[in-house]
Chains A and B, each alone.
Chain A
């Protein structure tokens, strides 16, 4: 399983077809590698965890596993919006551990070839960390921001997280 996830690297093989899960967040469309997505679920009851950064929504019970939940809007510094029928949690594999991300809606799985990925322009939307943007995909009508969520927590942040 692990190997399968590691084997496909978006940067190296430019012509290889890759599949992305696309999701919406405050008007914009984002994509993540489909192999990193374990499952997509509706909002369950979230237990708040005290003394954590505000974007940590809490933890949920995913069939007996306790999984931390991150609110993407808060993490990216976007305006908070209440949960509605479209709200989903994307449970992702983050280096062997599961983690859930709250997004506005999950739309589809798209195939693109590696060559379509362009490096991100130097200045992107203020709130989003440059680190976790793997590239931008410009497909006729739509613009898709490709995220590498494993890079989302900068080293400092991880320490802050564990050493608070």
Chain B
């Protein structure tokens, strides 16, 4: 195969970066195009993208890529000229071709060009290139050169750049037989003749295109950062000066105190500004994840025969790269669930007195130090009765347990691995893996999940995620003299309680908190902290939530709230139950960060 050992690596890198960017945008644009097919500006942009890809890849000699891109471009060109109208069938094929292009590009990126089956996709494109293909207006087909000569020359001229003449010849028998434009037969026969290859779309090729190893930063942000660094340097000089004065005993104590106090304030100001700036640079809009979804929703709705109106809100909301990387999978699962379980078919919807089109809303919004992502559908809602019966059937709970369960507890059943209300697993869902993935990933991010659902009206999944993972707000607590840090994002409230108010149920200490029964964990016991004598009856309970669970951690004293940088404990101490990492306190000591997620597991 062609030159992967491209002489000019830089050129290749440039090509890959540009193509990847274009392809990312292309998907989005194509979906939009389907909705607003008369947007010429959009049409032209799509055409330019594919044209650029074709040009660049032919320059670098990636033949397969050129072939696919060229055919796609031809079809797009006809759309652009109004010789064809946008319809779902054309879009299906164009999207398939785009996927193939992505796959080929990712091959090139991986440095391993394979001989991929491209003819299948290309042959699907071909019918749209024939003059006989479904046209906007029959009169519009007047590309004169082809019209008079009907037979062989025509077939040769239209698909001339095609490499497999035998196939092209195969696909044109009808125009030969039925001389002039009879649209139907061609459109029908050709797809049948075209070999149906194993869909090249499968496999993750396309997804892996996005590259997270480099960052693009707004120059303005970089300038701001430089300013902050400049100030930091000034403050450092000031500090050196103060230190020198102190060493030489030039200053009296009062002056020193004042100067040093000022310096501390300025330093803390500059540092937090700097921190904000760097944090901002790591932030990317959640759009990066969201933009895959129109495509997914489109193809799913076509597969399922449902009509879905996807609304995306707040895609410009920014969050840390590390978080963005992790939320893709859970969101896909939640959207699949909404499409498959939640939304009804048009007929069912009409029968239920709803509009034909189902609505799926995907929204992101900032709230304090968290980002909230909402997936909401107006489908049939979660049938608690059915969920319960299924769980009893699978032996996960007993009949009595179910009758005693609150709605919320029933919803929690959905997250159990292997749980599914579907009788049979389909391509899309039903294996009971999805929600488990959602739970695991959200837990990993220290996030919370909440489910709201009304039968017949729809369901809503609410994800609460921290903005960043490197520096977190934390609550410092003391357990018999040892200091631990709890991520503030998972702290719901703190209480001062008399230990005599604890109850014991089945060996588990619990606390009645308003209308819920809160299981308690004594950190002193879990962490084997030595008992000190001065224990009194009052202690503090920190109520934490991890994913969908709530519980109370019993500590001796609350120390305060502090912003801490997370430090890893290294490989040797990586997986201590209940400990997520460590941080360094103001006095230089190390404090361990409690992992509320693992705590819930200890609790089980």
- Contact (Cβ within 8 A) B575 A162: yes
Given A47-B591, A49-B592, A66 and B568 touching (CB < 8 A)? yes
Given A49-B569, A66-B567, A66-B569, A59 and B590 touching (CB < 8 A)? yes
- Contact (Cβ within 8 A) A164 B590: no
Shortest Cβ distance from residue B350 to the other chain A in the assembled complex, whole angstroms: 55
**Which residues of chain A from 73 to 108 have a CB within 8 Å of any chain B CB?**
94, 97-99
Shortest Cβ distance from residue A43 to the other chain B in the assembled complex, whole angstroms: 13
Looking across the interface, which residue of chain B has its beta carbon closest to that of A60? B590
- Contact (Cβ within 8 A) A50 B569: no
* B582 at interface, CB cutoff 8 A: yes
Given A59-B573, A68-B570, A97-B571, A50 and B527 touching (CB < 8 A)? yes
Shortest Cβ distance from residue A72 to the other chain B in the assembled complex, whole angstroms: 15
**Which residues of chain B from 570 to 604 have a CB within 8 Å of any chain A CB?**
570-579, 582, 584, 588-592
* B528 at interface, CB cutoff 8 A: yes
Interface string of A44-77 (1 = CB under 8 A from B): 0101111110001011110011111000000000
Looking across the interface, which residue of chain A has its beta carbon closest to that of B584? A61
* B367 at interface, CB cutoff 8 A: no
- Contact (Cβ within 8 A) A50 B573: no
Q: How far is the CA of A12 from the CA of B398 in the complex (A)?
A: 67
Q: How far is the CA of A157 from the CA of B271 in the complex (A)?
A: 42
Which chain A residues lie closer than 8 Å to B576 at the CB level?
Answer: 49-52, 164
Shortest Cβ distance from residue A47 to the other chain B in the assembled complex, whole angstroms: 4
Q: How far is the CA of A31 from the CA of B539 in the complex (A)?
A: 50
Q: From the candidates B528, B568, B571, name the one contacting A50 in the complex (CB within 8 A).
A: B528
- Contact (Cβ within 8 A) B569 A68: yes
Q: How far is the CA of A41 from the CA of B259 in the complex (A)?
A: 33
Q: How far is the CA of A65 from the CA of B568 in the complex (A)?
A: 9
- Identify the interface centre among B572, B578, B582, B588: most chain A CB within 10 Å of its CB: B572
Which chain B residues lie closer than 8 Å to A121 at the CB level?
Answer: none
Shortest Cβ distance from residue B173 to the other chain A in the assembled complex, whole angstroms: 65
Shortest Cβ distance from residue B570 to the other chain A in the assembled complex, whole angstroms: 5
* B347 at interface, CB cutoff 8 A: no
Interface string of A96-124 (1 = CB under 8 A from B): 01110000000000000000000000000
Which chain A residues lie closer than 8 Å to B577 at the CB level?
Answer: 51, 164
Which chain B residues lie closer than 8 Å to A158 at the CB level?
Answer: 572
- Contact (Cβ within 8 A) B570 A47: no
Which chain A residues lie closer than 8 Å to B582 at the CB level?
Answer: 47, 59, 66
Shortest Cβ distance from residue B479 to the other chain A in the assembled complex, whole angstroms: 10
Given A66-B567, A97-B570, A47 and B592 touching (CB < 8 A)? yes
Q: How far is the CA of A158 from the CA of B575 in the complex (A)?
A: 11
Q: How far is the CA of A60 from the CA of B573 in the complex (A)?
A: 13
- Contact (Cβ within 8 A) B590 A66: yes
- Contact (Cβ within 8 A) B589 A49: no
* B526 at interface, CB cutoff 8 A: yes
* A163 at interface, CB cutoff 8 A: yes
* B482 at interface, CB cutoff 8 A: yes
Q: How far is the CA of A48 from the CA of B526 in the complex (A)?
A: 13
Q: From the candidates B482, B569, B578, B584, name the one contacting A64 in the complex (CB within 8 A).
A: B584
Which chain A residues lie closer than 8 Å to B588 at the CB level?
Answer: 45, 61
- Identify the interface centre among A49, A52, A58: most chain B CB within 10 Å of its CB: A49
- Contact (Cβ within 8 A) A68 B573: yes
Given A47-B591, A50-B579, A56 and B584 touching (CB < 8 A)? no
Which chain A residues lie closer than 8 Å to B529 at the CB level?
Answer: 50
Q: How far is the CA of A104 from the CA of B588 in the complex (A)?
A: 25
Given A68-B569, A98-B570, A163 and B575 touching (CB < 8 A)? yes
Which chain B residues lie closer than 8 Å to A64 at the CB level?
Answer: 567, 584
Looking across the interface, which residue of chain A has its beta carbon closest to that of B567? A66
Which chain A residues lie closer than 8 Å to B572 at the CB level?
Answer: 68, 94, 97, 99, 153, 158, 161-162
Q: How far is the CA of A158 from the CA of B573 in the complex (A)?
A: 9
Q: How far is the CA of A45 from the CA of B590 in the complex (A)?
A: 9
- Contact (Cβ within 8 A) B567 A162: no
Shortest Cβ distance from residue B493 to the other chain A in the assembled complex, whole angstroms: 25
Which chain B residues lie closer than 8 Å to A52 at the CB level?
Answer: 573, 576
Looking across the interface, which residue of chain A has its beta carbon closest to that of B527? A50
Shortest Cβ distance from residue B491 to the other chain A in the assembled complex, whole angstroms: 20
Q: From the candidates B568, B573, B590, name the one contacting A161 in the complex (CB within 8 A).
A: B573
Shortest Cβ distance from residue A46 to the other chain B in the assembled complex, whole angstroms: 8
Looking across the interface, which residue of chain A has its beta carbon closest to that of B571? A97
Looking across the interface, which residue of chain B has its beta carbon closest to that of A65? B567
Looking across the interface, which residue of chain A has its beta carbon closest to that of B585? A61
Looking across the interface, which residue of chain A has its beta carbon closest to that of B483? A47
Q: How far is the CA of A47 from the CA of B590 in the complex (A)?
A: 6
Shortest Cβ distance from residue A53 to the other chain B in the assembled complex, whole angstroms: 10
Q: List 22 A-B contacts (CB under 8 A).
A: A47-B582, A47-B590, A48-B482, A50-B529, A50-B578, A51-B528, A51-B578, A51-B579, A52-B573, A56-B573, A59-B590, A61-B590, A68-B572, A68-B573, A94-B572, A97-B571, A98-B570, A99-B570, A153-B572, A161-B573, A162-B574, A164-B575
Q: A58-B590, A68-B570 are in contact. List 4 more A-B contacts (CB 8 A).
A: A47-B589, A51-B526, A59-B569, A64-B584
Residues of A within 8 A of B (CB): 45, 47-52, 56, 58-61, 64-68, 94, 97-99, 153, 158, 161-164
**Would you list the 8 A-B pairs with minimal beta carbon distance, nearest first?**
A50-B527, A47-B590, A66-B567, A162-B575, A66-B582, A59-B590, A61-B584, A61-B590
